[in-house]
């Protein structure tokens, strides 16, 4: 377990998953690497990857727009581009933000 207030490191995540699923750290690491590779490939190919109970990784197009250079105040044209977004599932939000009684 990591110290309070700090996120888990990859090693700590592998340790917890390996212990809870009767697998070695190497097996868990290979599984996570495979899951990431599938997510990247599917998001690139289909513009969307759903991980049930966790969320959706998706591509979203942003239109071109006018912006302002904060250093000079000069107006600049920001080109259109595609960005990657992650949207949490309802179940994930409810589990994390559940109100304590």
DSSP state of 100: P
40 in the same domain as 59 = no
55 in the same domain as 87 = yes
Number of folded domains that form the chain: 2
pLDDT at 93 over 70: yes
100 in the same domain as 66 = yes
What residues make up the domain containing 101?
47-101
Determine which helix (DSSP H) or strand (DSSP E) holds 82, and give its type and residue range: strand 81-88
Phi, psi (rounded to 5 degrees) for 88 = -70, 145
Q: pLDDT category, 36, cuts 50, 70, 90?
A: very high
Q: pTM here? A: 0.75
pLDDT at 5: 81
pLDDT at 81 over 60: yes
55 in the same domain as 37 = no
pLDDT at 2: 60
pLDDT at 59 over 80: yes
36 in the same domain as 55 = no
């Amino acid at each position: 377990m990591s110290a309070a207030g700090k996120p888990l490191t990859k090693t700590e995540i592998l340790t917890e998953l390996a212990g809870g699923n009767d697998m070695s750290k190497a097996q868990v690491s290979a599984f996570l690497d495979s899951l990431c590779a599938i997510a990247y490939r599917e998001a690139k190919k289909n513009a969307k990857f759903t991980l049930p109970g966790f969320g959706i990784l998706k591509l979203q197009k942003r239109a071109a727009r006018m912006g302002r250079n904060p250093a000079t105040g000069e107006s600049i044209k920001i080109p259109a581009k595609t960005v990657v977004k992650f949207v949490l599932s309802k179940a994930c939000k409810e589990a994390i933000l559940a109100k304590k009684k």
